[in-house]
Amino acid sequence: MDLLLEIAQQVINGLVIGGIYTLMALGMTMIFGILDQTNFAHGELYMLGAYAAFFFSMVLGIPYLVSVCLAILVGVLLGLMYEWLIFRPVRGKDPLNAVIASLGASIFIWNAALLVFGGAPREIPTPFLGEKVNLLGVSLNVQRLLALAVTIGIILALYWWIGKSRLGRAMRATAQNREVAALMGIKIGRVAELVFATGGALAALGGALVGPIFLLQPSMGLLAVGKAFIVVIVGGMGSVLGAIYTGFGLGVLESLTVGFLSSAYRDVISFAILILVLWVRPQGLFGRTGERGG
Amino acid sequence: MLRLKGVDAYYGQLQILKGVDLEVRPGEIVTLLGANGAGKTTTLKTIVGLLHPRAGEIVFKDKVINRLAPDETVRLGLSLVPEGRQVFPALTVFENLMVGAFTQRNKAEIERSLAFVYELFPRLTERKNQLAGTLSGGEQQMLAIGRALMSDPEVFLLDEPSLGLSPLLVEKVFATIQAINRLDKTILLVEQNAYQALQIAHRGYVLETGRIVLSGSAASLLQNEHIKKAYLGQ
Ligand SMILES: Nc1ncnc2c1ncn2[C@@H]1O[C@H](COP(=O)(O)OP(=O)(O)OP(=O)(O)O)[C@@H](O)[C@H]1O
Ligand SMILES: [Mg+2]
């Protein structure tokens, strides 16, 4: 019985982490699938989202949940800046240009954050952090549950939005054939703004949610973006569903590895999966060869 | 209604269109004929704004549209069925049609266009929840035409709609084009199938290596010796 409880505990922890990977990976996979661009600076949106939540709640004293909403707004603005300053100027050129531009932006933002915020880790104490609830014998931290619930809610809403709304259809059409999408009256620049605003919002939300669980550091984006990248590739570049399943799956797998083997294997496992998938199914678990979308 | 005056168009340094003059009047079916590589697709791309002319003028409804982007020309009432159909393969038939209606904001009007397209192509109704990529070539062509109709265009541009279809389907496509024309839509039809295009067209133009070399009424073009030899295989 103890073993079962331990497993349940690790699975929940894994879903929390996996949800964060998913929030990051969704934005990156949308940017890749719809705009054919790779954003290596996506981790900085996550990092700045966490610091924004810290700023609003700790410096300005705004309640935590309101601070999370404000951090999302900051994420939207940052996403738009990414589009206008980094990605629009290199769109339609060699894809390597976007890689180099975003790598440069990542290094710049990371160092600027180090200068402004300092290297010392910070925490966001929230009222939920100390609280625990007992569910069928499993003791659960309320902040983690909150993070998980919000993540799942947002992901479901996003999935519905992409699948059923007019703008979601326009984004998928753009992913499949940009020229014909333009013929239908879709403004590609607007779609790009929408994609980056969404990506920024999701990443910032991720940062604001885990801020209280882990410590904030300017380098936190670098670690997260690596994992999110693995999720994007394993899930299938451009696949929204693939990012969701892979993100949560990887989080759970990592958590079980840490719980039952050793934390030394945490990063080994994701790289092992990456290599295995690239070997057996290079288009990713949910990737299509040829056409894209979904 | 739509008029090209001395239009030059390039891909990079390569000149494709050389002083193209062409006119489409309200209610007409005009066909643009020419061999492979003559510049027919390039002409259509230049009209809808996928490419911009380097010289000359494109006038639509008394407005110069040389510099407009495709998302603007469709809002003015031009709609292109691109060469090779190019439906969105991972969207359903219904979703393809709804993307075609992207510029329309009036729900009732979208419903009306949708009903019209489904009536024109009952086959699409049966398959409305099927992914477009799984349709047959003929069905994809119907979908591409239906999708272009969803923006309720005034001028309808078609790029080789009969390409790769069986003779029976070719008949159907040409009959459909005539039916659409009867609904007061003006049509510019690019074709290699010169005989059938001239059967339904009012007037025609012949494009050779980027220049208009012949034009006139469909009846006169059908009798023209050069056309008979080069395009009708007589
Ligand atoms: N994107 C492009 N870049 C460079 N050259 C191009 C491009 N597209 C077409 N061309 C060239 O322009 C010329 C005209 O092409 P276009 O597609 O307009 O011909 P077409 O009359 O439509 O022929 P087809 O009947 O084969 O469709 C061709 O010589 C073609 O090789
Ligand atoms: Mg062509």
| Residue B63, SS3 per DSSP | strand
Parallel/antiparallel/unpaired status of strands B203-208 and B211-217: antiparallel
> In terms of DSSP bridges, do strands B63-64 and B55-60 run parallel, antiparallel, or are they unpaired?
antiparallel
Task: For the beta carbon of residue B115, count every other beta carbon within 10 angstroms.
Answer: 11
Q: Could you give phi then psi for residue A112, rounded to 5 degrees?
A: -65, -40
Q: Are A159 and A240 in contact (CB under 8 A)?
A: yes
Helix (DSSP H) and strand (DSSP E) numbers for chain A = 11, 2
- Show Cβ contacts of residue B231 under 8 Å, excluding neighbours closer than 6 positions: B33, B194, B195, B206
Give Rg (Cα) of chain A. Answer: 19
| Residue among B126, B96, B130 nearest B113 (CA) | B96
Cα torsion angle, B87, B92, B94, B96, sign:
negative
**Token pair of B98, please?**
């709804």
| pLDDT recorded at residue B130 | 96
Q: What is the ipTM of this complex?
A: 0.93
Residue A280 belongs to some domain of the structure: no
Which residues make Cβ contacts (< 8 Å) with residue A35, sequence separation at least 6? A87, A91, A174, A191, A192, A195
Beta carbon of B192 within 6 Å of any ligand 1 atom: yes
The response to whether residue B11 sits with its C-beta less than 6 Å from ligand 1 reads yes
Question: What is the per-residue pLDDT across A260-269, written as a single tens digit (0 to 9) for each?
Answer: 888 778 888 8
For tokens 């591409």, the residue is B144
- CB of B187 within 8 A of CB of B29? yes
Chain B residues within 8 A of A293 when measuring between CB atoms: 88-91
Q: Is the pLDDT of residue B234 over 80?
A: no
CA distances from A212 to A15, A125, A272, B136 (A): 16, 6, 30, 54
Least confident of A189-193, B35-39, B227-231: B227-231
Of the candidates B185, B192, B177, the one whose C-alpha atom is nearest the C-alpha of residue B145 is B177
Residue B204 scores a pLDDT above 80: yes
What amino acid occupies position A144? R
Reported as type and span, the H/E element at residue A24 is helix A2-35
Q: Do B102 and A186 touch (CB under 8 A)?
A: yes
Residues A284 and A242: their CA atoms lie apart, in Å, by 8
The closest-lying atom of ligand 1 relative to the alpha carbon of residue B83 is 27
β B29-34/B186-191 pair status: parallel
pLDDT at residue A140, as a whole number: 81
Tokens 């160092």, located at residue = A111
Q: What is the DSSP letter of B7?
A: E
Which ligand 1 atom is nearest residue B38's CA? 21
- pTM to 2 decimal places: 0.92
Residue-range domain boundaries for chain B: 1-77+154-234, 88-152
Instruction: Please give the pLDDT value at position A293.
Output: 42
- Give, in order, the Cα–Cα distances in Å from A263 to each of A6, A18, A268, A269, B94: 16, 16, 10, 10, 49
Whole-number average pLDDT of chain B: 94
Among the atoms of ligand 1, which is closest to the Cα of residue B35?
25
Measuring CA to CA, which residue among A227, A215, A219 is closest to residue A109?
A: A219
Residues of chain A with pLDDT under 50: 290-294
pLDDT of residue B74: 97
Alpha helices in B134-185 (DSSP H): 137-149, 167-182
* A11 neighbors A140 (Cβ within 8 angstroms): no
State how far the Cα of A44 lies from the Cα of A224, in Å rounded to an integer: 9
The answer to whether position A109 is within a domain reads: yes
SS3 A129: coil
Q: What share of chain B in percent tops pLDDT 90?
A: 88
Q: Is the CB of B164 under 6 A from ligand 1?
A: no
Query: Could you identify the residue written with the tokens 């079916």?
Result: B29
| CA distance to B32, B142, B169, per residue, from B195 (Å) | 12, 21, 16
Q: What is the pLDDT of residues B74-93, one digit of tens each?
A: 999 999 999 998 999 999 99
Indicate yes or no: CB of A182 within 8 angstroms of CB of B50.
Answer: yes
pLDDT digits (tens, 9 = 90+) for B122-163: 999 999 999 999 999 999 999 999 999 999 999 999 999 999
Which residues of A fall below an 8 Å CB-CB distance to B? 166, 169-170, 172-173, 176-177, 179-188, 288, 291-294
Residue with tokens 């086959």: B123
CATH code for the part of the protein at B1-77+154-234: 3.40.50.300
pLDDT tens digits, B171-189: 999 999 999 999 989 999 9
Give the per-residue pLDDT at A294.
42
CA distance B234 to chain A (A): 37
Candidate from B69, B90, B99 with C-beta closest to A184 = B99
Domains contained in chain A, number: 1
| Among B100, B4, B86, residue whose Cα is nearest residue B51 | B4
DSSP letters for B126-148: HTTTSBGGGS-HHHHHHHHHHHH
**Cross-strand pairs, A216:** A122
Distance (Å) from the C-alpha of residue B90 to the closest C-alpha of chain A? 6
Q: How far apart are CA A220 and CA B15, in angstroms?
A: 53
Query: Is residue B15 within 8 Å of residue B51, measured between CB atoms?
Result: no
User: Which domain, by its residues, includes A214?
Assistant: 19-219
Q: What is the H or E stretch that residue B208 is in?
A: strand B203-208
**Alpha-carbon gap, residue B217 to A197, rounded angstroms:** 54
